[in-house]
Amino acid sequence: MRVEGRCHCGKITYEAIVDPAQVSICHCTDCQMLTGSAYRASVPAPRDTFVLRSGQPKVYVKTADSGTRRAHAFCADCGTPVYSSAISDPPTYSLRVGCLDRRADLPPQKQIWCESAVPWSTNLEGVERITGQ
């Protein structure tokens, strides 16, 4: 599936090809902190399909407990997380689903790091729903 993405302010734009069957939600505590939310939804895009159309993201390098280092790219102007990847020569870019134009067509297919999940985040049935504000 061809997707286009952008940060909130529109300074960073990009396109890629993704496989909807690869969309996942991560409940790890790093993803919770890096998103400011209960989890992160992402989809991998092969390096040869990812094209940065405008802007240059700022990169924060996170070193995991395992020692693995990952680049987290975000817009320096609006702060929108755009993708993460290996530090050098990444085979894929992990695109943030919320930034993609076709996000409604990309429901999660699996959840990872569920042991770290915030308990209320796994079932929102019964929570009041308001269509707008």
Map residue 21 onto helix, strand or coil.
helix
CA distance 16 to 45: 6
Q: Which helix (H) or strand (E) holds 2?
A: strand 2-6
Handedness of CA 66, 25, 30, 55 (dihedral sign): positive
Q: Please name the CATH architecture into which domain 2-118 falls.
A: Beta Complex (2.170)
Q: Tens of pLDDT along 14-32?
A: 999 999 999 999 999 989 9
**Among the listed ranges 59-63, 65-69, 86-90, 94-98, which one has the minimum average pLDDT value?**
65-69
CB atoms under 10 Å from CB of 16, counted, come to 24
Assess whether pLDDT exceeds 90 at residue 124: no
The predicted pLDDT at position 133 comes to: 81
Which whole number is the average pLDDT over 87-116?
95
For the chain, the structural domain boundaries read 2-118
DSSP 26-56: E--HHHHHHHTSS-EEEEEEEGGG-EEEE--
